[in-house]
């Protein structure tokens, strides 16, 4: 019980000082403090430490519908895409994704594969999630997490698509802009996304539009 009281007092004392000084969140570190408990039986010392852990990786898996329009013709594909954001700060992240479209009508063949590398910025919310853990004598006593707020994310990326033609693979390269909205739904992190881009196939412009829905996991 004494350890818990010491841990709570230390945690909220540090939090109050941080708010008064209006400093940004500290980088992950461990601070050791020796607390003394004077009682009738004598003096006891406790090693109190507070760690701040940061979750920087956000992985999303989406079911999508994509439309490609080229020289008056167009086709539509259904695909799965895995998107990984690695937070550089609360607002900025590096983003990489891999998409693949399957033709279920012809023996589960691959129609195209898409690779995208870019950056993302949060208009609302933040990429990183922090957990503050107070431990006494090596035992975790108190843990507090920042809440998972709704996020509105804008991103830009360089796209590389490989289309499986009848006799060869046809590459397409371009740039795309995207937006997505993430929020907790029934205890899970759901996401809606939209993307528009311009690709080039053999000097011919190709317009790309993708919309999808999925779920997110933090690591």
Which residues is 161 bridged to in the sheet?
Answer: 114, 172
Which residues is 195 bridged to in the sheet?
Answer: 178, 210
Confidence of residue 63 (pLDDT cuts 50, 70, 90): very high
The CATH number of the structural domain formed by 55-127+146-218 is: 2.40.160.20
Averaged pLDDT score across all residues of the chain? 83
> Is residue 25 within 8 Å of residue 52, measured between CB atoms?
yes
Lowest mean pLDDT among 24-28, 128-132, 137-141, 206-210: 24-28
Residue 5 has pLDDT above 50, yes or no: no
User: pLDDT for 67-105, tens place per residue?
Assistant: 999 888 888 889 999 999 999 999 999 999 999 998 776
User: pLDDT for 180-204, tens place per residue?
Assistant: 999 999 889 999 999 999 999 988 9
pLDDT at 139: 75
Question: Domain map of the chain by residue range?
Answer: 2-53, 55-127+146-218
Confidence of residue 107 (pLDDT cuts 50, 70, 90): low
> Is residue 179 within 8 Å of residue 27, measured between CB atoms?
no
User: pLDDT for 143-178, tens place per residue?
Assistant: 777 778 999 999 999 999 999 877 889 999 999 999
């Amino acid at each position: 019980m004494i350890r818990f009281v010491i841990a709570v007092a230390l945690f909220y004392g540090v939090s109050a000082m941080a708010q008064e000084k209006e400093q940004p969140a500290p980088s992950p570190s461990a601070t050791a403090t020796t607390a003394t408990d004077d009682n009738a039986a004598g003096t006891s010392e406790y090693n109190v430490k507070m760690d701040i852990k940061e979750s920087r990786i956000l992985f999303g898996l989406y079911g999508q519908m994509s439309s490609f329009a080229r020289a008056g013709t167009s086709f539509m594909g259904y695909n799965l895409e895995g998107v990984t954001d690695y937070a550089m700060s609360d607002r900025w992240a590096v983003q990489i994704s891999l998409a693949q479209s399957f033709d279920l009508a012809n023996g589960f063949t691959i129609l195209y594969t898409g690779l995208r590398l870019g950056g993302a910025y949060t208009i609302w919310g933040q990429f990183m999630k922090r957990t503050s853990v107070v431990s006494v004598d090596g035992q975790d006593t108190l843990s507090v997490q920042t809440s998972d707020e709704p996020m509105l994310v804008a991103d830009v990326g360089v796209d590389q698509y490989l289309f499986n033609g009848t006799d060869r693979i046809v590459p397409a390269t371009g740039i795309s802009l995207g937006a997505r909205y993430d929020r907790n739904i029934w205890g899970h992190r759901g996401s809606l996304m939209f993307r528009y881009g311009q690709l080039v196939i053999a000097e011919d412009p190709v317009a790309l539009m993708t919309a999808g829905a999925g779920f997110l996991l933090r690591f």
